[in-house]
Amino acid sequence: MTFEYACIQEVNDHPHQADALAGRLTGLRGGAHVNLIPLNPTGGFGGRASDRDRIEAFAARLVSHGVQASIRRNRGVDIDAACGQLRARNAPGPRPTSESARMVP
């Protein structure tokens, strides 16, 4: 099973959060794979992408627990077509804030 994980600086990129994520995914039949994606810049959301070193450390921590991980590149940022950007520009209603981007325990 593959999971997408948007890495937000100082929100969900701490070592203990990698441990918690691995704990939830370890033991899934067929295994788990996590795609780590630096957060795309999105208007109305104050969060920032984790830096490369921090994402690499997060990935290494997952792997140390037996969870496969890949670090993805951001694509489409230059044309506001990256994950979350198009929705933020066109969706009605309130936009997410950095307070709503917390990892659920």
* Domains observed in the chain: 2-100 (3.80.30.10)
* For residue 75, pLDDT beyond 60: no
Residues shown for the chain: 105
For position 22, what pLDDT does the model report?
A: 97
Q: Are 54 and 9 in contact (CB under 8 A)?
A: yes
User: Is the entire prediction scored with pTM above 0.75?
Assistant: no
96 falls in which pLDDT band (50, 70, 90)? low
What's the pLDDT at 104? 43
- Within 8-67, strands assigned E span 33-38
Confidence of residue 89 (pLDDT cuts 50, 70, 90): low
Phi, psi (5° rounding) for residue 37? -125, 120
Residue 56 corresponds to which tokens in the numbers above?
């690499």
pLDDT for 42: 67
48 Cβ contact list (under 8 Å, min separation 6) = 8, 9, 39, 41
How far apart (Å, rounded) are the C-alpha atoms in residues 25 and 39?
A: 21
pLDDT in tens, 22-68: 999 998 988 999 999 998 766 677 788 899 999 999 999 999 999 99
Q: Which of 55, 53, 51, 47 is nearest to 71 (CA)?
A: 55
On average, the pLDDT of the chain sits at 79
